[in-house]
Chain A
């Protein structure tokens, strides 16, 4: 049982209990992958962004009715109910409040972050703690498909429709600096409305190679290799769910010697992956100017697994 309960009786706290979860910047890799028995699963490698967060606050009571604020966060409410049931208190009620700085509908994983934060808040309110695998399963139950955000910065290949891990890569992603931006800031995407891509046998075989590259990039902390894999994954995605301006991004990446291009496979986000050692203030600003010049919006700089103070931003 992946739950540590300190107190057999539910502790009714006047003070709200809190749970947090990261957002992400789409995926480094998304496709179809074999499990240990040779069966195929849709899977992805999430790129977590620890500076984008959703925070859930919960106060439990015996009313049996659970409300959420803002009321649009139905999946978070559903996740809180599932977490209560999982911990053995399906009849408790209370008030759930979501505060998030993650933009909705652009592929930042706002919905999964709300869901995971809610399950964590419920656990905290009951003096319990969920393993990432439990939070993930609850998240999938609450919103059909999910991402690996419950695992925080642990790099893994995650089957988003089943909520199971296909491969633990055995560490964190290698360090790099991500310059993120939107191709079309007006185009929000409802992830669940998308028809899943039907990959060809050749593409499914190519995903094996990309999975191997991500595995190697984590083991040897090789961001260059990770960038090559992410770029190929973005190219395959482009055949199935084309993003406008992809070719422009390819040109900018080549011109500024980025390690790779990363995308939200079902959103509007792009990211350029830069070497953490050589990404200076000047060359990042040159890239930002180039992106602004081509009309890209919401440009942000996200250091990924870079030590504080080692990057010049």
Chain B
């Protein structure tokens, strides 16, 4: 009996949503399945990942969930190293129900303690030489997997002029962008980051918007691909994701709200261009926070007026959570762009 059925391939495939006359978004249930499945498939094919082996990764986010689903279905052991500040009880329990071991380290500085997490992970690997580390931050498989997204965009939209997406590990935006720009050399790329993320030269600090930006710089972030950077604050992203649900019935996480906000603006300001937006995950994990008025009421400065357009920065600087800034990156490398002196 032959069926052309693959559950995880279907689950990693986005639904396409129109956000404007010239703007299409790929709304993923769980985008990180795309790199997770690709990296595990490659490692199984090459023999690097042996049957029943131990997989490790440092993540508190959706990449961990994606690897946990695949590890459960394919019979691998999994350890995820995260920080206590970054993981909520319900998410941890869901990962543990999938058989994953979750190690949540203390995080006194509130920046995710990525250094401590990596040290812990290396210690695990030294004890067990057959352990496979998925390395979402620097594995080429991460960005290469997004050729599938580039393919979906070209099949449904044809030529694409702008690509807009969140940046955390760099995989989705830089991967999709690398493939699309090879066939459409004129393609412009807008990276969506958040205040106090170090990816595009802001000083490190506490980030309120989870799942966006980073406190360290992954190798998969390819700065020279990026035409402009947008830093979207948490409150601006919350307003956007509320509007996405209320006005279009699209239920996504707040980072998708940040991407949609930027994508719609680029669509309005470039009416003759076709804009593709990447929206990485759904809103369920945020039902008790971003979609809960009682939780929102506890936030300092909330409610606030939704911001309608970005302020263009001349010099890179962090702002408040209601603010949205942009900067002409112009395909430069990180050290080619003047950066503020770290204040934290």
Contact = CB atoms under 8 A, between A and B. Distances in A.
A and B: bona fide binding partners: yes
B47 interface: no
A207 to B, nearest CB: 8
Give the interface centre of A201, A208, A209 by most chain B CB atoms within 10 Å: A209
A210 B144 CA distance: 15
Interface in B307-327: none
B108 interface: no
B144 A201 contact: yes
Nearest to B5: A36
A205 B158 contact: no
User: For chain B, what secondary structure do more than half of its interface residues adopt (helix, strand, loop), or is it mixed?
Assistant: helix
| Chain A interface residue number, banded | 20 to 34
User: For chain A, what secondary structure do more than half of its interface residues adopt (helix, strand, loop), or is it mixed?
Assistant: helix
B336 interface: no
A216 B155 contact: yes
A222 interface: yes
B154 A209 contact: yes
Contacts of A205: 144-145, 147, 179
B183 A232 contact: yes
Give the interface centre of A212, A216, A228 by most chain B CB atoms within 10 Å: A212
A210 B6 contact: no
Contact of B151 (A37, A212, A222): A212
Interface string A258-301: 00000000000000000000000000000000000000000000
Contact of B147 (A206, A216, A229): A206
Contact of B183 (A38, A201, A213, A220): A213
A75 to B, nearest CB: 33
Contacts of B6: 38
A209 B159 contact: no
B42 interface: yes
Contacts of A38: 6, 41
Interface in B148-188: 148, 150-152, 154-156, 158-159, 179-180, 182-184
Given A38-B41, A201-B144, A205-B144, A212 B182 contact: no
B180 A209 contact: yes
7 contacts: A208-B148, A211-B151, A212-B154, A213-B158, A215-B155, A216-B155, A216-B158
Interface of B: 4, 6, 41-42, 140-141, 144-145, 147-148, 150-152, 154-156, 158-159, 179-180, 182-184
Smallest CB-CB A-B distances: 8 pairs:
A205-B147, A212-B151, A212-B155, A212-B154, A36-B4, A208-B151, A209-B150, A208-B147
